[in-house]
């Protein structure tokens, strides 16, 4: 993985996996206990709570509880934030599940998803000009940010009508140019995300023929932490988890404080309360530890299979990948999707469960 995403946000880039190999951080054996941590985040509807938590002392409160310091660093360039994390400059980063696999994991950096913050539930949209059914996309040029979640949305949508990418022509287009491009006569099909999608759909002859609500749970936006660092410093996982869910409780409340929090997040992301709440409506937020735990237990494995298939088909699991299961992905229950001897991405509900049980 809305709110004023910058030109590179939520975009997969295979070349960065190569950079990761060059600038790989400390190995598991070299990770040490420490007191100061840096976590990178960028502007997106589901990640704005991190900025709010930092600005309002919530992150500090939880860090103090465990005797550590956590610096939340905002990046204007999402991919650069993941690149910096992969290089070892940051202990954690906000990333989609696809980008976590395509960049640090494909580059050999073992990472753990501590919290899935949300999944796209309508934010990513296929829009056709004049045509009202997805089948009408056949033979068309489709403008989208190549190798992004938009590209993934297109691939998954085509499957539902018995088509594949061979039935269309993908045209790589910057998200910054998408609205203007759609207004031209020759462009008849685009895939993009909010708020661009909402603006395009507000114009004439624009029809939503498929969106991410039809593939729930597949496009995830998460807090990713270096596995070695997390093992050596479990206090980091505890503090971040506590801060996240305290912020969730505030922003989800139907109270003046909740409205004020949502408004602050909206303003910080370049919109207002109404605009931010509209984006939240197309985002499945995990507001409680129980929400995340239930998702981890029931839906993760199936969603992961779809994502790895796309990544492999598009060469985003690294040059050595011989199958979609080349990189092992550990589920919260300890089972592994893919190669159990090459586990480089892990989902954990351990800290969420600790909070749920009153142990944080």
Tens-digit pLDDT string for the chain (360 aa): 433 343 334 455 444 444 444 444 444 446 789 999 999 999 889 999 999 999 999 999 999 999 999 999 999 888 899 999 999 999 999 999 998 999 999 999 999 999 999 999 999 999 999 999 999 999 999 999 888 889 999 999 999 999 999 999 999 998 889 999 999 999 999 999 888 898 899 899 999 999 999 999 999 999 999 999 999 999 999 999 999 999 999 999 999 999 999 999 999 988 899 999 999 999 999 999 999 999 998 879 888 989 999 999 999 998 899 999 999 999 999 999 999 999 999 999 999 999 999 999
- Give the pLDDT confidence score for residue 97 in this predicted structure: 94
- Give the pLDDT confidence score for residue 21 in this predicted structure: 44
Tokens of 45: 């509807």
Domain count, the chain: 2
Tokens of 276: 């931010």
Residue 92 falls within a domain, yes or no?
Answer: yes
- Give the pLDDT confidence score for residue 318 in this predicted structure: 86
- What residues contact residue 111 under an 8 Å CB cut-off, 6+ apart? 100, 104, 105, 224, 225, 226, 227, 344, 345, 346
Residue 8 falls within a domain, yes or no?
Answer: no
Q: Is the pTM of this model over 0.85?
A: yes
CATH number at residue 157: 3.40.190.10
Q: Which helix (H) or strand (E) holds 169?
A: strand 169-172
Same domain, 70 and 148: no
Burial class (CB in 10 A: 0-12, 13-18, 19+), 330: buried
Strands 111-120 vs 283-285: parallel, antiparallel or unpaired: antiparallel
Same domain, 284 and 299: yes
Gap between the Cα atoms of 242 and 315, Å rounded: 37
Same domain, 49 and 191: no
């Amino acid at each position: 993985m809305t709110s004023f995403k910058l030109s590179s946000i939520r975009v997969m880039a295979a070349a960065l996996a190569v950079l990761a190999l060059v600038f790989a951080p400390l190995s598991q054996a070299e990770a040490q206990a420490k007191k100061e941590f840096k976590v990178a985040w960028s502007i997106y509807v589901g990640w704005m709570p991190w900025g709010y938590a930092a600005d309002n002392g919530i992150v500090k409160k939880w860090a103090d509880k465990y005797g550590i310091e956590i610096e939340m660093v905002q990046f204007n360039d999402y991919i650069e934030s993941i690149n910096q994390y992969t290089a070892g400059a940051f202990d954690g980063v906000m990333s989609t599940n696809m980008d976590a696999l395509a960049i640090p994991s494909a580059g050999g950096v073992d990472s753990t998803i501590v919290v899935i913050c949300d999944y796209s539930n309508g934010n990513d949209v296929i829009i056709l000009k004049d045509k009202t059914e997805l089948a009408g996309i056949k033979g068309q040029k489709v403008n989208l940010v190549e190798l992004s979640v938009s590209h993934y949305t297109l691939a998954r949508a085509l499957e539902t009508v018995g088509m594949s990418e061979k039935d269309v022509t993908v045209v790589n287009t910057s998200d910054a140019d998408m609205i203007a491009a759609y207004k031209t006569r020759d462009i008849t099909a685009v895939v993009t995300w909010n708020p661009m999608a909402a603006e395009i759909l507000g114009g004439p002859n624009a029809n939503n023929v498929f969106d991410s609500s039809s593939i729930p749970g597949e496009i995830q936006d998460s807090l990713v932490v270096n596995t070695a660092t997390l093992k050596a410093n479990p206090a980091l996982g505890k503090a971040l988890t506590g801060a996240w869910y305290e912020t969730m409780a505030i922003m989800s409340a139907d109270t003046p404080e909740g409205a004020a929090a949502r408004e602050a997040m909206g303003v910080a992301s370049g919109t207002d309360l109404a605009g931010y709440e509209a984006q939240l409506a197309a985002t499945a937020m995990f507001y409680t530890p129980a929400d995340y735990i239930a998702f981890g237990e029931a839906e993760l494995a199936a969603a992961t299979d779809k994502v790895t298939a796309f990544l492999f088909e598009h060469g985003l699991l690294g040059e050595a990948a011989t199958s979609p299961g080349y990189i092992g992905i550990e589920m919260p229950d300890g089972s592994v999707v893919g190669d159990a001897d090459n586990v480089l991405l892990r989902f954990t509900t351990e800290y969420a469960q600790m909070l749920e049980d009153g142990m944080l």
